[in-house]
Amino acid sequence: MDSLWKYFDETFNVLRSISAPIMEEYFKVMEKAYREERALYIFGNGGSASTASHFAQDLSKGTLCDFENQKRLRVISLCDNISGITAWSNDMAYSSIFEQQLRNLAREGDIAIGISGSGNSENVVNGLHYAKTMNMTTIAFTGYDGGKIGKLVDLNIHFPSYNMGLVEAAHSVVMHYLVQELKERFAKKISMKIQHRAQ
């Protein structure tokens, strides 16, 4: 069992490396996107593709405190369009699968969120690079040394570990925190609006 506690300790140490100011910058971007009804496009490669799908679903539903009346975040995972992914892979290149979807969907001012443990997944790099050309806000979740993506994006939520499993676990934990915190912030704003109307 010593290996179990050692693994947990390593995971906690990776999580403790997160930058609080970066987290606050993330919330500012997301709250602005919410106010302005910007679209969020999330994508990742390999295991991070599943993380992207999960994160998109949580941001879509998990930030709601009122299913009937609350305004919603506009979120799309670019990892879930299997026919589009296979078509672009076959006709152009696998490295273009996210860029090409963004060319169809994205607008200036939207948000692109790329997930890559190494920070070097070529399809994620290309998607974020295109997003920059569109004047989109770019956010990344990375590990290792941040890779090419860490140098490219506006905001990099980075865990400096070379253990891919720990990086992916840290991404999942922090994403659940981000969703929970956004839900609480949105609920507080809704409550303040209701109180203002009642006065």
pLDDT digits over 102-135, tens only? 999 999 999 999 999 999 999 999 999 999 999 9
Q: Please write down the long-range contacts of 101-107, taking CB distance under 8 Å and 24 or more positions apart.
A: 101/41, 101/43, 101/127, 102/41, 102/78, 102/127, 102/130, 102/131, 102/134, 103/130, 105/39, 105/41, 105/76, 106/39, 106/41, 106/130, 106/131, 106/134, 106/136, 107/39, 107/134
**What is the per-residue pLDDT for 190?**
74
Q: For residue 71, what is the enclosing H or E element?
A: none
pLDDT digits (tens, 9 = 90+) for 18-60: 988 999 999 999 999 999 999 999 999 999 999 999 999 999 9
**What is the per-residue pLDDT for 193?**
62
User: Could you give the angle at the alpha carbon of 63 between the alpha carbons of 151 and 171, nearest 5°?
Assistant: 35
Mean pLDDT across the chain: 94
**What is the per-residue pLDDT for 156?**
97
| Position 192 pLDDT exceeds 90 | no
Rounded to an integer, the average pLDDT of 153-169 is 97
Domains of the chain: 20-198 (3.40.50.10490)
